[in-house]
Amino acid sequence: MTIDPTAMTAAILVIGDEILSGRTKDKNIGTIADYLTAVGIDLREVRIVPDEPDAIVGAVNALRAAHTYLFTTGGIGPTHDDITADCVAEAFGVGIDVDPRAKAMLLERHKPEDLNEARLRMARIPDGADLIANPISKAPGFRIGNVFVMAGVPSIMQAMLDQVGPTLPTGARMLSETVEAGNLPEGNYAADLAEIAKSYADVSIGSYPSMTKDGFANRIVARGKDAASVARARAEIEALVARLRG
């Protein structure tokens, strides 16, 4: 598959010791991946890092430089281990302080006398960032440059993504066609499939085995942005599978 130089690309950075310890199983990567694929943005890399400044700052700078968009999840709550906003400010070399707009959002949920120092941490926003509203618990995320900083709690992340998504200029939509090869062994069709893959420069063809209680079930997927090419590739793959199934 050749790379389209005008393609929109993205990375995800998941921030949190609780994911790396296995205590919490991440659900956000799959949600964001599905969303980006649907709107034609190619997710090219994901990283998960601990709640440590050097790791976060390093990953933010590496990923925002390499991709059109970077989406982060986690580390924007009120406790001492929530350091994402400070790290993003450091990565961009900008200041960070309590943002009046963010404080106003927190006051929709908390009484002024309950807005203690810890809660005000959630209103600390890097200079120059735009806020991403949080309809569930009010503490906002933010966008700075090409970086979108979102919550780690999946329902809040989803609500933030729903807001951010429609504002993004997106790429040509990726089209995907699946051919079920069932229990036809990959090794039976691999050589012919490679030939088909070689003949379509603009279609990415993959073979994905999974296991069911009855044994293997293989799927062959053709993905690309040109509908005619994807359809032709699909037809060739279907013919191959039909021929081998006999």
**Can residue 121 be called a binding residue for its own copies (CB under 8 A)?**
yes
Residue linked to tokens 């933030």: 160
Stretch that binds its own copies, among 76-84, 88-96, 162-170, 225-233 (CB under 8 A): 76-84
User: Whole-number minimum distance, CB 211 to its own copies, in Å?
Assistant: 5
**Can residue 205 be called a binding residue for its own copies (CB under 8 A)?**
yes
Identity of the residue numbered 44:
R
C-beta atoms surrounding 229 within 10 Å:
16
Name which of 27 and 232 has its Cβ closer to its own copies.
27
Residue 214 CB-half CA count within 13 A: 5
CA–CA separation, 94 and 90 (whole Å): 6
**Can residue 184 be called a binding residue for its own copies (CB under 8 A)?**
no
Q: Are the C-beta atoms of residues 119 and 87 closer than 8 Å to each other?
A: no
**Can residue 29 be called a binding residue for its own copies (CB under 8 A)?**
yes
Please identify which residue in 4, 86, 186, 202 interacts with its own copies, judged by CB under 8 A. 186
Query: Residue 146: enclosing H or E segment and its boundaries?
Result: none
C-beta atoms surrounding 131 within 10 Å:
16
52-58-63 Cα angle (round to 5): 125
CA–CA separation, 99 and 118 (whole Å): 14
What's the distance, CA 225 to chain centroid?
Answer: 19
Please identify which residue in 61, 137, 146, 163 interacts with its own copies, judged by CB under 8 A. 137
**Can residue 194 be called a binding residue for its own copies (CB under 8 A)?**
yes
Touching its own copies, residues 139-168 (CB under 8 A) = 153-156
Name which of 50 and 130 has its Cβ closer to its own copies.
50
User: Whole-number minimum distance, CB 206 to its own copies, in Å?
Assistant: 5
Query: Residue 111: enclosing H or E segment and its boundaries?
Result: none
**Can residue 199 be called a binding residue for its own copies (CB under 8 A)?**
no
For its own copies, the binding residues (CB under 8 A) are: 14, 17-26, 29-30, 33-37, 42-51, 55, 77-81, 110, 114, 116-119, 121-122, 136-137, 153-156, 174, 176, 186-187, 189-191, 193-194, 197-198, 204-211, 216, 221, 223
